[in-house]
A and B are shown apart, each in its own frame.
Chain A
Amino acid sequence: EAQVTQNPRYLITVTGKKLTVTCSQNMNHEYMSWYRQDPGLGLRQIYYSMNVEVTDKGDVPEGYKVSRKEKRNFPLILESPSPNQTSLYFCASSPTLLAGDSYEQYFGPGTRLTVT
């Protein structure tokens, strides 16, 4: 089954304790992206990757890191989480994201993170 998986689905942690949220897709997609979703603000892009070893900042990258060492995986790293990073996080993938493309983006099930 074609899908985007995220782990963990739920996480409660404390301020300053490094954590990683994994994201994996089995569709051989080149484009992958991380979003956070907060009430009233909609989805905001954190980082994206056009292909392996190519990553770039989205709209809200502060406090986050990513890596894209292989096509299928795109982990999100919080080196020192803070309470303002409490949010619902989504990973997404798409075959590409070039001008003129109309490929849909496939979203993972989400990771609800609480930082106390």
Chain B
Amino acid sequence: KNQVEQSPQSLIILEGKNCTLQCNYTVSPFSNLRWYKQDTGRGPVSLTIMTFSENTKSNRRYTATLDADTKQSSLHITASQLSDSASYICVVFGDYKLSFGAGTTVTVRA
């Protein structure tokens, strides 16, 4: 069964600090991996989409990495801001199907 596991489940960081979220997957065959940001009560919004050949991709203060050999991805948030408080969802597309992780809830405190 294709699975996507995210860690940690939640984390709290101080404004201005960095953090890294992890995503491990077993989806096969693999097409691409997506990171979404979901603010409370709103729909997810795409941050990055990475294909097999891409190791890293940045979107403003968000940097995603992908190791397709070990089937691991990370999302690094640099110089966090209060507006980064949200749930971050890892989604893997493979075998014509999207597999969703349960998400990591990030809380940024002043």
Residues on A lying within 8 angstroms of B by beta carbon are 4, 33, 35, 40-45, 90, 92, 97-102, 104-110
Contact = CB atoms under 8 A, between A and B. Distances in A.
Chain B interface: which size bin? Answer: 20 to 34
Contacts, number: 49
A99 B101 CA distance: 20
A24 B103 CA distance: 26
11 contacts: A43-B89, A44-B100, A98-B96, A100-B31, A102-B49, A104-B34, A104-B46, A108-B43, A109-B43, A110-B42, A110-B43
The dominant DSSP class at the A interface is loop
B42 A97 contact: no
Contact of A107 (B29, B45, B93): B45
B32 to A, nearest CB: 5
Nearest to A103: B49
B3 to A, nearest CB: 11
B44 to A, nearest CB: 5
Contact of B44 (A33, A41, A102, A107): A107
A67 B100 CA distance: 24
